[in-house]
Amino acid sequence: MESEGVRADNYTYPFVIKACGGSLSLAEGQRVHGKLFKLGLDSDVYICNSLCAVYAKFGCIEYAEKVFEEMPVKDLVSWNSMIGGYVAVGDGWSAVVCFQEMQVVGMKTDRFGMIGVLNACAIEGFLLTGKEIHCQVLKCMLELDVMVQTSLIDMYHKCGRVDYAQRLFDKISHKNVVVWNTMIHGYVLNARPMESFSCLKKMQETDNLRPDAITMINFLPSCTQVRALLEGESIHGYAIRRGFLPHIVLETALIDCMVPAAG
């Protein structure tokens, strides 16, 4: 494009930056960032949002912060990008602070912001803040959004409130595989292997859903907890039949299950 004398603009560069993230090329992303600075496009909100997202994707949250702090104008995407970036690097506290700052400046959140801050509460075990966000979810009428519901269930599980998670789960009329996977994982996290077994069975019999690779990864620790070697072997066979293998995370979970059970 440039070789033919066509100059890229603020509409072109967000796609270029996104391509850098897709190709996992931090050096290329930084090179583009430098070029944007020279062209005077480094203050464009769409370009800055793309830069924040790509730096966060590479785990370079300090670079994302610098871009974010220097933005003359921030929109909802800007805030959500930073919240998601903090969550991606495991810094739930900073994500919650960012969410609160967004509200202080009068920016209304959306489903993506809610999901991000709920994930942050799950990381840090911030039950009280999670409950406050739950109230905001209700006020914003997002309680029927399945991804928000799933994030709430995950948050309550990781804060040790299985009862709250179960109550939300039971209210969901149409549960997809992600919702079931989250519930299974939550039972495992809270050392309730028998509930995990029951959940997997209901998933298949009640909603007629087929477990995927994530289901297996989430469920296998419950087999380890009760030393259920036969169930682990059954899952291994299921994974082979479904073509889930090779899969490094699933294979690791299978090994973790088989070795203690056989010992």
Q: What is the pLDDT of residue 66?
A: 92
Q: What is the pLDDT of residue 171?
A: 94
Final residue of a structural domain among 73, 100, 120: 73
83 lies in the same domain as 34: no
163 lies in the same domain as 190: no
Q: What is the pLDDT of residue 24?
A: 52
The amino acid that residue 133 corresponds to is I
39 lies in the same domain as 89: no
Give the residue among 30, 34, 29 at the shortest CA–CA distance from 15: 29
142 lies in the same domain as 114: yes
| Count of the separate structural domains present in the chain | 3
83 lies in the same domain as 169: yes
pLDDT mean for each 10 residues of the chain (263 residues): 42 50 56 55 77 85 93 94 95 98 96 98 98 97 96 98 97 95 98 96 95 97 90 93 95 87 50
Predicted model pTM:
0.87
Domain with 93 in it: 79-173
199 lies in the same domain as 242: yes
CA-CA distance, 143 to 139, in Å (whole number)?
9
Q: What is the pLDDT of residue 119?
A: 98
106 lies in the same domain as 92: yes
Q: What is the pLDDT of residue 33?
A: 54
CA-CA distance, 184 to 222, in Å (whole number)?
9
Alpha helices in the chain (DSSP H): 13-22, 26-39, 45-57, 61-69, 76-88, 92-104, 111-124, 127-139, 146-158, 162-171, 177-189, 193-205, 213-225, 229-241, 248-262
